[in-house]
Structure 1
Amino acid sequence: MSVDEYIFAENVRKAIESFKAGNTILLFDMEGREEETDFAIPAEAVKPSDVRLMRKEGGGLICVSLDALAAEKLGLPLMSDLLISASEVDPSILKTIEKSGDLKYDSRSSFSLWVNHRKTRTGIPDNDRALTINEVANSVKKTLNAEPVDFGIEFRTPGHVALLRAAEGLTNERCGQTELSVALAHMSGITPAVAICEILDDHSGTALSKKKAIELSNKKEMVFVEGSEIVEAYETWKELNSY
């Protein structure tokens, strides 16, 4: 039995194969948390048609999950920290900033900046957002390879693509779609930047149920993987890669 076969459950192995091929998967977080399924696509592989899929058949917010070290190197703060600093100039902002207990599903959100690449026009069409997402991934890849990146020259904010900064400890610290998708990217050996978008139910407007998400994955022939499977696999992966 190979190492991969030993560490990873079947769904995780299939998700890794999909990520390596630049394909879309369906990622469910966890029971008792958001209980949402996202489309998840390696950011470096996103095409305009993928943006269309996310906005038409997902319907949630199109974001890019980023590795914490890369976000630090690129100078991408958590939005809550940025607003706290801004409140020193404008105290009225302080009242609106996320506080402990505000979220029903976690202790904090992972929002960073919202950006457009400077080569985009308005930033919102499918091709513009795909370009921004691709170039965010390119910046992550470069900075993790110790190549110089001036994020401000490449991108402007505010923009139309939400960046999410993963927790430094990933699933040891937080188990949101941000951390789960980045952990899966690390296990796949790809650039740790992943486009994600919540899938909503067309009829109820609420998060698509896990049952319906599995049905959708079968219909579209996309891998469905649960956060609990990723957490388990990632823990073992880290142990085997710590030597």
Structure 2
Amino acid sequence: MNGNTVYDCLTYRNENINLALEALLAGKMIQIFDSDSREGETDLVISAKAVTYKEVKWMRKDAGGLICVAVDPVAAKQLKLPFMADLVLEASKSSYDLEEVVEREGDLKYDSHSSFSLWVNHRETRTGIPDDERALTIRKIGDITEKCLSGNGVRFGDEFRTPGHVALLRAAEGLLDERNGQTELSVALAHMAGVTPAMVVCEMLDDYNGKALSKEKAKEYGKEHDLVFLEGQEIVEAYITWKSCD
């Protein structure tokens, strides 16, 4: 893939995309709504390398969903990050009960499989759960992703241990050509922005009805906090154009 940003080659002007890329380059938070036909959820999204305890607190208090780090598929493969479902299937060889609980085809109403990999803490953390310790783990995931993609020899286990408190998501090998989940949407945006493709995502939940925050309320929140709001389809269209650049 070339090193161009989407600015260099868009055949149409999508101000939302451009604003989102500028925000990511500046280490700021954005919002992504995947689609009504998938999860139908809005996530707060930020580059892993830009996260401090303040962003973890923000996601924990104002979003309320699961704080995860989506990792580029090339890096995930080089770091030997497994899919959690595959780990459980392997473990089921010695425990039939585990085979009963692993996700099967048709279990997910919005996709064929989940992206969950390991749950980790960085080895410099104590319990791993306080905001500052989760922020450290998240930044270090960004660091090791960058080192890995730069060709530096790294061993994931030298820096991280599992089980832990930060969930890793392994992006599909073909990114948006294969899957249009929050994992792939955020990593694709990272590539377009030219930032390290390790992205923090956290679902926005509604405090009053027990459901995901509606798109309308998520947009209102974004306006109040000066956040760029992107629809998944906007990202897909921009990514197609970006990939076609010479």
Q: TM-score range by the shorter chain?
A: over 0.9
1:44-101, CA deviations, whole angstroms, 9 ceiling, x for partnerless residues? 0001000000010000000000001100000101111111111112222100000000
Deviation of 1:5 after TM superposition, in Å, equals 5.2
Which residue in 2 is equivalent to 1:126?
131
Q: Distance in 1 between matches of 2:20 and 2:206?
A: 23
Q: Distance in 2 between matches of 1:79 and 1:215?
A: 35
1:210 to 1:194, Cα distance in 2 relative to 1, 3 A: same
1:178 to 1:108, Cα distance in 2 relative to 1, 3 A: same
Partner letter of residue 123 of structure 1? G
> Which blocks of at least 5 consecutive residues in structure 2 are unaligned?
1-6
Identity %: 56
Which residue in 1 is equivalent to 2:3?
none
SS at the partner of 2:244? helix
SS at the partner of 1:26? strand
Structure-1-length-normalised TM-score: 0.96
1:82 paired to 2:87: yes
Q: For residues 156-171 of structure 1, what are the structure 2 equivalents within 5 Å?
A: 156-171=161-176
Preserved CA contact (<8 Å) 2:121 2:166: yes
SS at the partner of 2:143? helix
Preserved CA contact (<8 Å) 2:33 2:43: yes
Q: 1:174 aligns with which of 176, 179, 200?
A: 179
Preserved CA contact (<8 Å) 2:10 2:242: no
Preserved CA contact (<8 Å) 1:8 1:233: no
Q: Which segment is superposed worse, 4-13 or 224-233?
A: 4-13
Which residue in 2 is equivalent to 1:211?
216
Q: For residues 83-232 of structure 1, what are the structure 2 equivalents within 5 Å?
A: 83-232=88-237
Partner letter of residue 199 of structure 1? M
Q: 1:46 aligns with which of 43, 51, 68?
A: 51
Partner letter of residue 195 of structure 2? I
Preserved CA contact (<8 Å) 2:9 2:241: no
Partner letter of residue 158 of structure 2? I
Q: Distance in 1 between matches of 2:25 and 2:148?
A: 20
Q: Distance in 2 between matches of 1:53 and 1:238?
A: 33
1:103 to 1:8, Cα distance in 2 relative to 1, 3 A: farther
Structure-2-length-normalised TM-score: 0.95
Preserved CA contact (<8 Å) 1:4 1:13: no
Aligned CA-pair RMSD: 1.1
> Which blocks of at least 5 consecutive residues in structure 1 are unaligned?
none
Deviation of 1:6 after TM superposition, in Å, equals 3.2
Q: Which segment is superposed worse, 112-121 or 3-12?
A: 3-12
Deviation of 1:203 after TM superposition, in Å, equals 0.7
Deviation of 1:221 after TM superposition, in Å, equals 0.4
Q: Distance in 2 between matches of 1:182 and 1:100?
A: 25
Report the number of matched residues: 240
Which residue in 2 is equivalent to 1:68?
73
